Structure 1
Amino acid sequence: MDSSIAGSADQQDQAAQVHARRVFYIPGYDPIHPRRYRELYRKEGAAQAAISNYQISLRPQEKFTNAKGGKRPYGWQVSGEIDGQQVESAFSVLVWSDIVRDSMDASIPGTYLQLLHTAWIYISSGTLRRLMRLRKGPVIAALYPVAMLLVQALVAALLFWGVARVWDAGLTQVVGSNPWYAQLPGRGIAVLAAGALLRWFKRMDGKFFAYYLMHDYAFSATSRGENPAELEERIAAFKQEIRAALEAGGIDELLVVGHSSGTHVGVSVLADLIREGLPEHHADIGFLTLGQVVPMVSFLPRATRLRSDLRYLCQRDEIAWVDVSAPGDGCAFALCDPVAVSGVAPESGKRWPLVFSAAFTQTLSPARWAVLRRRFFRLHFQYLCAFDQPGDYDYFRITAGGQTLRQRYRDRKASNSRIDMAVSKYTDVTPE
């Protein structure tokens, strides 16, 4: 396949400027209310507009109903005046944070059992070894919660030992002996102290991210890559929301944005949507994936659904799929073609995704890069933020500007340093 963006000549020749757009944003594994993404867009959009000399503003979303006649998903309206073109974009966040919160509702002992189970699945299946052939950064990120939780357990064990030793020493000094039954109260105090320390570590996880990341990796690993039933139901609901927007018309582009774990959710949503058949006349469909971690799931033994969707979607001309990442993002499988590395690329007919780099070291000034380079989780969200030396990737031009995703990148070449070899041990797919 040509490394430039794929798209039919008719689609490119007939493409018109965008005046109205619907954007569906699919977050990653995030338990936070979607207003976080509105505020991030407001703040960073204003910063990018000032840097790049265009206008962008937000207001509350208009009162529309969703596919079932109920309340529309959380969102906002964006007015953009970019390169002389005025565009109205309606954002909707496709929320699955409630599923994330439920999956994080594990006790401290339950989390340590998750640790053992998740580590066993990734190691015994050979998945961890294969992932290490791609990028070391996300593998280190995956090992981090294991190491941090073990360190926390070790510190708690040392506290238990220290409290018990102090009790025994004091008992000997006071009564001159140390019978076993007299040691029991000291052991009880030691257990309480160690438990209190572990609970403190969990309360402070907003700084450590050990429990959060452990639950993240366990979410897919527990079922060995198969979607939980509640996520399948949510994927079906997302598909209906997007279908309703296409059928309602009145837009020039429908853009789906998947960030981090939201990428593989978006893959399945769009694959299901296209399989069912699209309206005869519909807006151009774009799929923008940012900081993807697809191999963490697609390399697992039972991820046949995801692998099938990747194989299907990469061949469809109904969409334009652009995948953006950066080697500076240690939490993403940067420049790894998610279809190819999963071993499901067809021998011919592969059109997507176009894989290229956001090139943080070039699009962020040296001063800004020096501030952010050690803030790994912040960098994982940089794709949604302003760049002070922007290149050809600008999230706000894409989502509020006058070109479709297909138009914007139709002449863009894929990054030469992308990884597009088959690496996964498991390549079976769900039969069509």
Structure 2
Amino acid sequence: MSGPETHASPAPTHPVRRRVVLYVPGYDPSPPRRYRERYRREAARQAAFSGHEIALSPGAEAGAYGWDVAARIEGAEVAARFEVLHWADIVRASMAQGIAATYGQLLRTAGIYLASGALFRLLRLRKGPVIAALFPVAVLLLQLLAAAALALAVTAAAAALPPRWSVLPGLLAGCAGGILLLRWFRRRDHFLAWYLMHDYAFSARHRGAYPPEQEARMAEFADRIAAALRSDVDEVLVVGHSSGAYIAVSLLADLLRGARVPEGGPALGLLTLGQVIPMVSFLPGAGRLRADLALVSASDRLSWIDVSAPGDGCAFALCDPVAVSGVAGPGKRWPLVLSAAFTRTLLPGARAALRWRHFERHFQYLNAFDRLEGAAGDYDYFAVTAGPRTLGERFAGRKPSASRIERTASGHTDRAA
């Protein structure tokens, strides 16, 4: 289903002076301070390019993983409180797998995507993120072959020694050598293949349903957002990056179902960046997520902007996550799908620096852009999060990207009751 050609959100009754930003990271074992330091570094760079004034200070709220921002952007002073909705401990626990368990994950995850038909449907949608998903499979299998080759070589060399060597000690030595090599590969993980394998396995292990520990943490996140919506601020902005995008959608769906978005309260915005929602929503057990997508997409209680870029090979760039998942109803309002247009928003030198840094390209949405001008200057992460306009007002009247993909591609479109 094609959405409207323009999206207009009601203008706020007054400019934003106070904002709460709740950031949902993707599958990332890094501590929240990494995001604070990225924001500090990139805000200074964006200030140099755009004339913003942005100062960070430690978060004043006890127990929150965050920081405070005092900014002067577009001629207005804004105070923003940032909080990272932290689930890195769950990520680290899921990555604490042995070698055999990781190869077991590989087999199970590949089996789920193949048997459900999701892999082939995702390939027809966007090849880049699917190739990124197949990359760790290929690397881990090559590493297993290298370990097997080493084991055979050591065994053969031992068999060629004087008769006091038997086949069994040589075989044991060969197996030990192969295991040590795999441990070395895992410890170094230069290509991040082991990390990526854990990432895809985490999303797929329940065939697209959220694991119990993640549901429990999401309930805590929803309480944090609900508390922000009851506070004396002008906007509550939820930002979901990468796999954090589908978590953010489900959080807001839970709040809408529970009637926890107060009338007359702060403006509520959802900003999804570099989303990989189809990787989960196409799986047979993702009925909960598909229902959440449908609910949020039809809500008049929020504004949802989805930003991605074809230059980000790790994201389902410009894919309307609601439409491609087959849950776009007649009342669909959101998301407004926009391109970060790296070719227009980054100077050639900056693009060249990112050429082989695929992960940093995936994080570019959180970084400074050195070529914000005209139509290319609509997306500025620091103006969005610390500027004087709500998310809805900032993009009011904008047309969605002409290159967006809206055709239904998922073979599973049922929704959780």
- Residue deviations 1:58-96 (CA, integer Å, cap 9, x gap): 001113xxxxxxx43200001111111000000000011
- Residue from 266, 291, 295 that aligns with 1:308: 291
Report the Cα offset of residue 291 of structure 1: 0.2
Does residue 430 of structure 1 match 2:412? no
- Residue from 84, 102, 110 that aligns with 2:93: 102
- AA partner of residue 4 (structure 1): T
Report the Cα offset of residue 262 of structure 1: 0.4
Equivalent in the alignment of 1:293: 276
Mapped partners of 1:357, 1:131: distance in 2 = 20
Equivalent in the alignment of 1:333: 316
- Residue deviations 1:253-290 (CA, integer Å, cap 9, x gap): 11000000100100010011111112233100010000
Does residue 36 of structure 1 match 2:34? yes
- Residue from 123, 126, 138 that aligns with 2:117: 126
Equivalent in the alignment of 2:182: 198
- AA partner of residue 106 (structure 2): L
Deviates more, 1:324-333 or 1:50-59: 50-59
Does residue 5 of structure 1 match 2:7? yes
Does residue 117 of structure 1 match 2:108? yes
Mapped partners of 1:289, 1:298: distance in 2 = 15
Unaligned runs of 5+ in 2: none
- AA partner of residue 336 (structure 2): L
- Contact 1:254–1:283 under 8 Å retained in 2: yes
Mapped partners of 2:8, 2:133: distance in 1 = 34
Summarize the Cα distance change of 1:280–1:356 in structure 2 as closer, same or farther, 3 Å threshold: closer
SS in 2 for 1:417: coil
Deviates more, 1:30-39 or 1:364-373: 364-373
- AA partner of residue 39 (structure 1): E
Mapped partners of 1:15, 1:309: distance in 2 = 29
- Residue deviations 1:126-162 (CA, integer Å, cap 9, x gap): 0000000111100000000100000110111111111
Mapped partners of 2:253, 2:312: distance in 1 = 27
Deviating above 4 A after TM superposition, structure 1's stretches of 4 or more consecutive aligned residues are: none
Mapped partners of 2:7, 2:41: distance in 1 = 31
- Residue deviations 1:303-333 (CA, integer Å, cap 9, x gap): 0000000001000011000000000000000
- Residue from 397, 403, 412 that aligns with 2:389: 403
Does residue 149 of structure 1 match 2:140? yes
- AA partner of residue 42 (structure 1): R
- Residue deviations 1:144-196 (CA, integer Å, cap 9, x gap): 01000001101111111111222222x1xx45xx8xx7122221111111111
- Contact 1:79–1:89 under 8 Å retained in 2: yes
Does residue 87 of structure 1 match 2:78? yes
Deviates more, 1:274-283 or 1:32-41: 274-283
Mapped partners of 1:52, 1:166: distance in 2 = 65
- AA partner of residue 5 (structure 1): H
Mapped partners of 1:305, 1:393: distance in 2 = 30
Mapped partners of 1:373, 1:89: distance in 2 = 33
Mapped partners of 1:81, 1:260: distance in 2 = 29
Mapped partners of 1:54, 1:31: distance in 2 = 31
Mapped partners of 1:122, 1:403: distance in 2 = 42
Does residue 259 of structure 1 match 2:241? yes
- Residue from 349, 352, 359 that aligns with 1:367: 349
SS in 2 for 1:192: helix
- Residue from 45, 55, 59 that aligns with 2:53: 55
- Contact 2:287–2:414 under 8 Å retained in 1: yes
- AA partner of residue 330 (structure 1): G
- Contact 1:6–1:352 under 8 Å retained in 2: no
- Residue from 7, 10, 24 that aligns with 1:26: 24
- Contact 1:3–1:354 under 8 Å retained in 2: no
- Contact 2:282–2:411 under 8 Å retained in 1: yes
SS in 1 for 2:378: coil
Mapped partners of 2:324, 2:385: distance in 1 = 28
- Residue deviations 1:196-220 (CA, integer Å, cap 9, x gap): 1100011012x22111111111112
Summarize the Cα distance change of 1:352–1:6 in structure 2 as closer, same or farther, 3 Å threshold: farther
Mapped partners of 2:355, 2:403: distance in 1 = 21
- Contact 2:8–2:398 under 8 Å retained in 1: no
- Residue from 401, 404, 412 that aligns with 1:415: 401
Q: Where does 1:166-177 land on structure 2 (aligned, <5 Å)?
A: 166-169=157-160, 171=161, 174-175=162-163
